[in-house]
Structure 1
Amino acid sequence: MCEDCFTREYPSFKSESIWLEFDLELGIKLGNGKMKYLSNTDDGEYFYQCEHCNQKWRLKDPDLSFRGYFIKVQ
């Protein structure tokens, strides 16, 4: 983890405002080339990688009562 990608994981997005803030930050990092999209799965997980430290991340968007997550891929 580094400042170019994210300095923390989100095991759950506890509120809509946290999710929206995170989603904006991810979009900015993708737009300025700090992060890159790798792939997605049939069940709606998305994978990203930091261009600086090469850390891989797994994202699942929140949906109704499911709060989603953004965690490191080990």
Structure 2
Amino acid sequence: MPLSDVTDKVSRRGPELSEFTRGVICGLSQHAKWTNTAISKEMGIPRSTIATIVQKFIKHGQTSVERRSGRPKH
């Protein structure tokens, strides 16, 4: 496999969702009783992302992103 095949790969991750957006997702899920699929279609965010955010909110009670190890990108 040529080295260019490895180094030219683009990350599939999109931009980090804001704290506000995460709060809206959790609010729609918990208080408005929307399904993950309905939230996904309305906001244009993958259903798996919605499910992960809601599960973390239920388990930990917060919507903030945990700190990552390593040098911060500037």
TM norm. shorter chain > 0.5: no
Work out which structure has the larger RCO, using CA pairs closer than 8 Å and 6 or more positions apart in sequence: 1
Question: The TM-score by the shorter chain falls in which range?
Answer: 0.3 to 0.5
